Amino acid sequence: MKRIKFFNQILKNINYMIEMTCTRVPVQLIDRQTQFGNTRKLDLSECIFVFKSSKSDYEEPLSDEEVDLKPLREATIAVPTPKISEKRKAEEADASKDLKKAKLETKALKAKRPGFTDERYNETSYYVENGLRKVYPYYFTFTTFTKGRWVGEKILEVFAREFRAHPAEEYERCIRAGTLTVNYQKVDVDYRLRHNDLLANVVHRHEVPVTSEPITVIHMDEDVVVVNKPASIPVHPCGRYRHNTVVFILAKEYNLKNLRTIHRLDRLTSGILLFGRTPKKARQMEHQIRNRQVHKQYVCRVEGEFPEEEVVCSEPIEVVSYKIGVCKISEKGKDCVTRFKRLSYNGKSSVVLCKPQTGRMHQIRVHLQYLGYPVVNDPLYNHVVFGPEKGKGGNIGKTDQELVRDLISIHNAENWLGMDGDSEMSLFKPKLDMEDRVSLSNDKDVASSPSSTPGLAEEEQQQQQQQQQQEQQSSKVTVGTQTGSEPPDSSFTNDKMTVDPHCYECKVKYRDPKPSDLVMYLHAWRYCGPGWEYETPLPAWAASDWAEEER
């Protein structure tokens, strides 16, 4: 009661003061804090005061009696969590531990750029045949985590649909034999995939051959290695390529290990390739490329007579499918600009200097396709799969789904130049067309004869051998001469050729790619940035008087 009387007295005093103020002569006050910065006069007689009474969380008792103060708000009721059995806790702990171990192992491999050890490099070795660098077959474990769209599906159905390397029967055999596992554990063919399941498939791996042309060094110091990459060799392991990559070849044959890739080139594109030898230098040059401080110049040979004046193409490019690596001109795409200038014309094709101002996927090739002057031997963008005009003016005449479907039916995955085979389709080795393989009569032929050129004429084989001899006799400056580590003997050794009775690829013999399949007339010629510039010799096909041989 004393507190109530006290508050009532305060209210009376406030009301009295208001009444006294309103009966006096109006007083004008100055408000100098308006939002417009000007002054404003206030008249208290024109002001309205509103007093609002409020209650606290506790009500005052209505009498002098002692009353316990009770809160008006309801107290929060704690709901006990259900108890988890010890068995379930142990199972979840073990599963979490195994999954964490698998993830740590995967991250450890990715943490080391490029992420390989001597044990990995020594998995197999090379041999040279018919002008091609080949890899002896070896055992390898493919790993991947379950993708969202696979969750809830049977493991056999996923492999039969997603990975077309083998028929479903072969995957069923692998699952039952325990070479195809989930979280390193053998499972049943009816096992349904869960989130974060780690799939591992042990295979007898056969890599695709690449050119035996040596990698030449442009510049090398303590911070940077700059090489001239031959066509047909991917930069780093991807898809069907692992040891037959620039990163592996430099490490295995020239002891240039732990190189950090600064940028990439398509598999069939030749030219300048930059590697960082220190993390600091790699980050610095990556930053320069990302901020467009690096000026790039490419040279290519295109079909037809390219205009003499400079041509600027600024059409946006959209990725149609990351899975197979194909792009097109689209309003939905990303902005990009390429400048073109003709260097020469031989009556059939033109040599063009290309200056990309941005770095979109397949930018030069897609822009040339749009202009109607595709690269002469581009197996992807110089193809009628893009329509009768081969995509000129962006006219394809089919939906993205139809385009992807047609590309899959026409090309082998290793011939696509999009992601260098680095796609979901090629993770467990994509299926090859029957015309690209010839069945063997028995397994002995596989081990005794490494040659795989039944479709090549004798004259063509002789030309390849002559070309190989010329390359060996030439006085090129290779990475080996720069590092003092010459490549090992690359002659074929029958003892190194392994055969797996369950390996599907051991039972077939593949045709060697023709020389025309190993090169695309697109070359990274010159790169220059703040305080540095590197340039390679121009390839033979870039000469003004060059004439293409009949294929």
Q: Using an 8 Å Cβ cutoff, are 277 and 259 in contact?
A: yes
Q: Which of 266, 420, 422, 512 is catalytic?
A: 266
Which helix (H) or strand (E) covers residue 201, if one does? strand 198-205
Specify the residue for token string 């015309």: 435
CA distance 481 to 488: 13
DSSP 99: H
CA distance 263 to 464: 31
**500 assigned to active site:** no
Name the pairing type of β-strands 349-356 and 338-345.
antiparallel
CA distance 248 to 120: 9
Specify the residue for token string 């964490």: 100
Q: What is the token pair recorded at 73? A: 């708000």
Task: Give 440-448 contacts, CB < 8 A, sequence gap 24+.
Answer: 440/507, 440/508, 440/509, 443/499, 443/501, 443/506, 443/507, 445/509, 446/497, 446/499, 446/506, 446/507, 446/509, 447/494, 447/497, 447/499, 448/494
> Closest Cα partner for 537 from 520, 523, 550, 521?
523
Measured at the alpha carbon of residue 224, what is the angle toward residues 222 and 230, in degrees to the nearest 5?
135
Q: Using an 8 Å Cβ cutoff, are 454 and 511 in contact?
A: yes
Name the pairing type of β-strands 270-276 and 522-529.
parallel
DSSP 334: B
Q: What is the token pair recorded at 319? A: 């990725």
- Distances, alpha carbon 110 to alpha carbons 102, 143, 202, in Å: 13, 13, 19
CA distance 313 to 448: 54
**CB neighbour burial string for 483-508, b if at least 16 within 10 angstroms, e if fewer:** beeebeeeeeeeeebeeeeebbbbbb
Measured at the alpha carbon of residue 406, what is the angle toward residues 232 and 145, in degrees to the nearest 5?
70
CA distance 150 to 71: 54
CA dihedral sign, ordered 240, 356, 411, 377: negative
CA distance 107 to 84: 31
Q: Using an 8 Å Cβ cutoff, are 240 and 161 in contact?
A: no
Residues labelled catalytic:
266
